[in-house]
Amino acid sequence: MTAQTVAEIVRLGPVIPVLAFESVEQGENVSRALHAGGVKVLEITLRTEAGLKAIERASQLAEDIVVGVGTITKPEQCALAKKAGARFGVSPGLTKDMHQAAQDAGLPLLPGVMTPTDIIVALELGYEIVKFFPAQPAGGVPMLQAFHGPFPTLKFCPTGGITAESAPTFLALPNVVCVGGSWLTPKSALAAQNWDEVTRLARAASELAPPAR
């Protein structure tokens, strides 16, 4: 996989699944099922102890898979995730220390923003694409439409509360490059180890119309 920058990675598919695994084995099964459905980019979060090992395992599943690390909340997590095989990082927020740690680790970062002040900080640090989080609670589509006026060049990956039904509305916005979501891995399917259902949902997500930009 040749994608190296966040700008390249977010264009590999309209939906980036946000994943939290109870075990490394579950992570491998789900990652394989998602890839079988055409999803090439995964965000495996550090919300569980299995996170780093799951990133390592998933990154070895296929040549065209791009595994990112999610829920980076501490600067030191950037180097750990990079060592585990993460190709990019996603954070719920942004500080100068986290920005510098990602730079030092060689880990492209998709930082989270929620307010205009957050956005201005991200722009000052040179970011052109950011994560809008938590998207739905923070105002959803109307908020992104409002951001487009004062920040016309900034692109967003909204994440948080987005569903299969609402994703197309977000993807239709001129400042949205992709969406993040957890609906591809429903708890019921994971509990039943129904990997075929995960693949079905992944295929449907992969077939969503990508932003025409």
Q: Which residues are catalytic?
A: 43, 131
Residue 153, classified by CB atoms within 10 Å of its CB into exposed (0-12), middle (13-18) or buried (19+), is: exposed
The residue to which tokens 């957050």 are assigned: 118
- Residue 51 CA to chain centroid, in angstroms? 14
Q: What are the CA-CA distances from residue 189 to residues 48, 167, 179, 198 (Å)?
A: 19, 20, 21, 7
